[in-house]
Amino acid sequence: MEPIEIITALAERVTNNVEHVIIGKRREVQMTLIALLCEGHLLIEDVPGVGKTMLARAIAKSIGCSFRRIQFTPDMLPSDVTGVSMFNQKTREFEFRPGPIMAQIVLADEINRATPKTQSALLEAMEERQITVDGVTYPMERPFLVLATQNPIEYEGTFPLPEAQIDRFMMRLSLGYPSAADEMHILEAQREHHPLQDIGQAISAEELLSAQTAVRQIYVDDLVKEYIVELANASRRHPDIYLGVSPRGSLALFKTTRAYAAIQGRTYVIPDDVKALLEATFAHRMIISPSARIKNVDSRAIVEQIASSVPVPGGRVRTTR
């Protein structure tokens, strides 16, 4: 099989497996898989009870990876996330006791309930794929995905994520409520036990690592790259935006479009791929100006304005010599 066929088949197996647990959210499951293929991290903003934890657990089971959940609270310390060095009375030496961050799939539940000092404990792990405790650096096992959640409704007792940390999330998603038919299906599926108990491993971690390498070979034409850059520049010029999308945001859109194209079975990226991932990669990186915030302007609406204002690149005539 060609590399593109391997990626497409792999994505189909994982998506179908997870859909036994997360019903009616195929696009959101694929978005999570795209973050995995691009070695990025995911922020899910949604109300409690829509399946955020089950999504992370189902993904971890589907690829045979270790899973840990961190429930963030205001009294949590950075060492509760990274781990701590303990003195062993028998060996008379310090031993490292790893924290919950030392897993391949990490669910950071209600991340905005922790203090900024504890939130920052995730930064090194997310960006550098390593943690440092008492001067000793410990690498993270690949693949590594942080799936963080926060409640967009309840703000009492929370600490908003700083812009530098939000920017480290490759994408932001919202699962949303299921349709009436899907909710009926959920009730029926959990009549006797939870369907998470029934799903097995769909692919191996080694297959996922190979797919991560293959995704980097997806072709992106210069016209599409220029389109991505122009969309980022448009966010920086928008009158309702105080701070536009960073170059890291442009890079996130560039990377995710390659994975999206591969899942669709293509060896090249088209402008529609860029449009499909624009909101997920750009909206959370833009800071609304105070005057626009008073008018309840939403970053998602601004993304739609930007997408409609920037011309889509046309075809390029190629000549052969």
Domain ranges of the chain: 1-216, 218-321
Q: Which residues pair with 131 in a beta bridge?
A: 138
* b/e burial code for range 55-68 (CB count within 10 A of at least 16 → b): bbbbbbbbbbbebb
pLDDT of residue 264: 92
Count Cβ atoms within 10 A of the Cβ of residue 235 and give its class: 0-12 exposed, 13-18 middle, 19 or more buried.
buried
Alpha-carbon gap, residue 291 to 239, rounded angstroms = 10
CA angle 15, 17, 21 (to 5 degrees): 100
The closest alpha carbon to 85, from 102, 97, 101, belongs to 97
pLDDT of residue 112: 86
Fold for the domain defined by 218-321: Helicase, Ruva Protein; domain 3 (1.10.8)
The CATH superfamily holding the domain 1-216 is P-loop containing nucleotide triphosphate hydrolases (3.40.50.300)
Note whether 283 and 300 are within 8 A (CB).
yes
pLDDT of residue 157: 64
From first to last of its 321 residues, what are the pLDDT tens digits of the chain?
677 888 899 999 999 999 989 998 999 999 999 999 999 999 998 888 888 888 989 999 999 889 999 998 888 888 889 888 888 888 878 888 888 999 999 999 888 888 888 888 887 788 888 888 888 888 888 899 999 988 877 666 677 787 778 888 999 998 889 899 999 998 888 888 888 888 889 998 889 999 999 999 999 999 999 999 999 999 999 888 888 899 999 999 999 999 999 999 999 999 999 999 999 999 999 888 888 888 888 888 899 999 999 988 875 555 444
- Would 1-216 and 218-321 be classified into the same CATH topology? no
Three-state secondary-structure class, residue 68: strand
